[in-house]
Every structure is written in C-alpha cells, then in structure tokens.
C-alpha cells in the first residue's frame, strides 16, 4: 500500500515530464491506428519515420535554445526570420561566391552569434522587453532576407552542403541492409540512457533525496529503450541514421548535461525562478540573459542551414512561422510561462509531439487551416495545464 502511495505521489509531483511522454505515446498510437484504417498507410514505416525527423529537425534544434531563453524569463520571436536570413547568407556564400562548405558553416554560425548578441545586448543591459526587441528583429531580418536574395530563390547547393540535412551515416561494417552501424549506435544510446538514469537515481539516494520509485524507473526506461531500438531498426532497414539525427542527439545530450550538471545551467534556472534573489546571491544575471540569446542565435543559424540544405535553395519565405512552432513545442514540453521551469528532454518531446501531429494530419489530408486550429488548441491546453498545475 505504501509503495502504491509512493508511486502515486511521485507521478503527481512529476506531472509535466510524465504527462508529456505519455501524451507522445498516445498520439503516436492514435495516428498508427487512424492512418492505417482510413488511409491504408503504415505510419511507422521506415520512410515516414525518416521523413518525420528530416521535416522537424529545425524545430527540435531551436527548441533547445528557446527553452533556455524561456527558462530565463524571456522569449525570442525572431528565430524564424533568423533562419531565413542565415539560409540566405549560406546561399550567397556557397552559390554566388563559391565558398567551400567547410568555411560557410562556421561563417553562418558566427552570423547567428552576432544576431543573438545584438538582441541579447538590448534585453540584458538596457532592460528592453525581449518581446519588443525580438519582434523588431523578426521584422528587420525578414526585410534583410528579402534584400539579400533580391526577392529570388538562390540554389542549388553543392552535395556537401545538402548532406547537412539529406545525408546519412554510412555503415562502417559494410552491410547494406540493415545498417549495422545505425543499430549499434541506437542500442548504445539505449544502454547509456538506462545507465545515466540509474546513476542519477543512486546519487539521489546517496544524498538523502527520495529516489524515483523502482517500478516507474523500470517502466519508463523499458518504454524509451524499446521505442529507440524500434526506431533505430526502422531507420537501419531504410537508409540508416540521417545526419540530422546525429546532430540532434549530440546537441540534446550536451544541453541536458549543461542544464542539469553545470553551474551556469543551474544559474539560468535560478534567474528565471527569482531574478532578484539570484542577483543578491552573486549571480551575474545580465550576462546569463545575454548568453542565452547568443546561444539562441547560433542554434537558429544552424537550423537555417539545415532548412536551406533540405530545400536545396534559399527562399525569401523560408522560416515563416517557425517561431510559433518552436515556442509551442517548448510550452507543450512543460516549460513555464513565468520562467525557471522546463527540461531539455521535455522540449524535445514537445517538438516531437508537434512533428507527429503535423505528419499525421498531413497524411490524413487535413488542410493547413484545420491543422493550425488543432495545434493552437493543443498549445492552449498545455498552458492551461501549466497554470492549473502551479495552482495545485
């Protein structure tokens, strides 16, 4: 009886993370059934899973940076325009000026860093609301994109640049199908997740913190590991691991480690929770806000190059509305509107929920008008859940 009570109290105290993961599973199962019944399509086919990652990689990448901005108590509305602008810069450097890809990538990342620094400067040191600064940035960089491209598409890109989005990791073992390298890496990732989770649980117990109930730990890790291995097998039976999946995995691990194990990451949460208290404790809050916007600019630039590589051209309308999907993914993933709350894995889950919904509704032939309505209602439900959870 006490074990059941412990499980119930733990689930109640971790509604955000447990609820979003359960919601992702339910949404995937829903589309598996609905798409099979009404369209006769296998929603979990290798090709569709690959497309799911390729089509939504930019959302996941920018959600990592947006989470830190929102946790710090701010918001960035300019990321969609920055995606379009950095994609345009990449096109001009690569196609028009014949720069090598090895020079274009760091140059575009540096442009993103400068954009983030420019906006972060006004927010952090001049105390101008981030909503106003980034709204201005959204208009400025959309206009600069139109000017740089002269209203025309620029492309195609060389194969080396396209591989940022459309490339796949080759099989080092020389087997065509299934891709043994992909299977090995995915199984290794599943083992690493279990090992890190067990280490965190043991650390909590060592410091006198009540650990997560063993039943919940086992069930969650079984579900996550099984899902990873299933997806890995599907990808291995098709073309292997896409380059963007590797990029996403590395970024997710780095940002999760940064936010949970590094002092600077924990200070960002302290800043968002109570800025005055954080400042009184000696934290340089201005610098932290500045750095979160610099980081957001770099990730938006990376997303811009991936989007341009996938389209194989830079277009004046690239990035339009991306900021809405990214912000929605972060809030759906459990971030709080007031700052100080949110996890990297939650942002990734939120982005996957958005991607699964987009993909499933597109397969079913649901119009973009209805898709926007449904996504808006899901976002509203996530925010209402956040407010309700805080009131409890």
pLDDT at 9 over 60: no
Does pTM top 0.75 for this prediction? yes
CATH number of residue 17's parent domain: 1.10.3470
If pLDDT is split at 50, 70 and 90, which confidence band does 340 have? confident
pLDDT tens sequence across 24-57: 888 999 999 999 988 888 898 988 998 888 888 9
Rounded to 5°, angle at Cα 147 from 146 and 151: 50
In the predicted model, what is the mean pLDDT of the chain? 88
Instruction: List Cα–Cα distances, 21 to 50, 63, 271, in angstroms.
Output: 20, 16, 27
| Dihedral in degrees, nearest 10, Cα atoms 194, 195, 201, 203 | -170
Q: Which domain holds residue 115?
A: 2-167+242-391
Residue 51 to residue 169: CA distance in whole angstroms: 16
Would you say residue 199 lies in a domain?
Answer: no
pLDDT at 127 over 60: yes
The predicted structure's pLDDT at residue 14: 58
CB count within 10 Å of CB 49 equals 19
Mean pLDDT for the stretch of residues 185-198: 85
Mean pLDDT for the stretch of residues 275-300: 94
Would you say residue 225 lies in a domain?
Answer: no
pLDDT tens sequence across 56-96: 899 999 999 999 999 999 999 999 999 999 999 999 999 99
CB count within 10 Å of CB 1 equals 5
Residue 308 to residue 84: CA distance in whole angstroms: 8
Would you say residue 61 lies in a domain?
Answer: yes
| Dihedral in degrees, nearest 10, Cα atoms 295, 297, 302, 307 | 140
What is the Cα gyration radius of the chain?
A: 21
If pLDDT is split at 50, 70 and 90, which confidence band does 161 have? very high
Would you say residue 322 lies in a domain?
Answer: yes
Would you say residue 220 lies in a domain?
Answer: no
pLDDT at 175 over 80: no
The predicted structure's pLDDT at residue 198: 85
Q: What's the number of domains the chain is made of?
A: 1
If pLDDT is split at 50, 70 and 90, which confidence band does 6 have? low
Mean pLDDT for the stretch of residues 196-202: 81
Percentage above 90 pLDDT, the chain: 46
pLDDT tens sequence across 132-155: 999 999 999 999 999 999 889 998
The predicted structure's pLDDT at residue 11: 53
pLDDT at 5 over 50: no
In the numeric block, which tokens belong to residue 268? Answer: 């960002």
Mean pLDDT for the stretch of residues 244-251: 90
Would you say residue 212 lies in a domain?
Answer: no
Residue 288 to residue 294: CA distance in whole angstroms: 10
pLDDT tens sequence across 357-391: 989 999 888 888 888 898 888 888 877 877 777 66
The predicted structure's pLDDT at residue 107: 97
The predicted structure's pLDDT at residue 1: 44
Would you say residue 237 lies in a domain?
Answer: no
The predicted structure's pLDDT at residue 176: 64
Residue 144 to residue 26: CA distance in whole angstroms: 42
The predicted structure's pLDDT at residue 2: 45
Higher pLDDT, 228 or 113: 113
Would you say residue 36 lies in a domain?
Answer: yes
The predicted structure's pLDDT at residue 372: 87
The predicted structure's pLDDT at residue 74: 96
């Amino acid at each position: 009886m006490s074990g059941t009570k412990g499980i119930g109290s733990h689930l109640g105290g971790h509604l955000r993370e447990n609820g979003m993961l359960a919601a992702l599973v339910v949404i995937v199962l829903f589309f598996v059934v609905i798409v099979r019944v009404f369209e006769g399509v296998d929603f979990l086919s290798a090709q569709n899973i690959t497309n799911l990652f390729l089509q939504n990689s930019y959302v996941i990448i920018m959600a990592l940076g947006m989470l830190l901005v929102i946790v710090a108590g701010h918001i960035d509305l300019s990321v969609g325009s920055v995606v379009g602008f950095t994609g345009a810069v990449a096109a001009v450097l690569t196609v028009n000026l014949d720069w090598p890809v090895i020079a274009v990538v760091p140059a575009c990342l540096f442009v993103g860093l400068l954009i983030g620094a420019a906006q972060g400067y006004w927010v952090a040191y001049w105390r101008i609301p981030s909503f106003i600064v980034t709204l201005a940035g959204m208009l400025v960089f959309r206009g600069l994109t139109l000017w740089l491209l002269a209203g025309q598409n620029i492309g195609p890109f060389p194969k080396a640049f396209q591989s940022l989005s459309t490339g796949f990791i080759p099989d080092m073992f020389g087997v065509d199908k299934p891709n043994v390298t992909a299977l090995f890496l995915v199984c290794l990732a599943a083992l690493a997740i279990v090992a890190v989770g067990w280490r965190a649980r043991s650390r909590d117990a060592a410091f006198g913190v009540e650990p997560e109930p063993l039943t919940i730990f086992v069930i969650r890790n079984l579900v996550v590991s099984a899902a990873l291995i299933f997806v890995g097998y599907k990808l291995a039976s098709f073309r292997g691991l896409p380059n963007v999946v590797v990029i996403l995995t590395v970024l997710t691990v780095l940002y999760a480690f940064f936010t949970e194990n590094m002092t600077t990451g924990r200070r960002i949460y302290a800043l968002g929770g109570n800025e005055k208290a954080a400042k009184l404790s000696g934290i340089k809050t201005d610098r932290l806000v500045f750095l979160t916007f610099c980081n957001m600019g770099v990730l938006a630039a990376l997303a811009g190059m991936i989007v341009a590589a996938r389209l194989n051209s830079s277009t004046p309308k690239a990035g339009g509305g991306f900021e809405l999907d990214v912000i929605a993914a972060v809030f759906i993933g459990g971030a709080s509107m007031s700052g100080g709350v949110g996890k990297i894995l939650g942002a990734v889950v939120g982005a996957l929920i958005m991607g699964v919904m987009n993909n499933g509704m597109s397969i079913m032939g649901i119009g973009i008008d209805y898709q926007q309505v449904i996504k808006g209602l899901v976002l509203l439900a996530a925010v209402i859940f956040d407010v309700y959870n805080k009131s409890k």
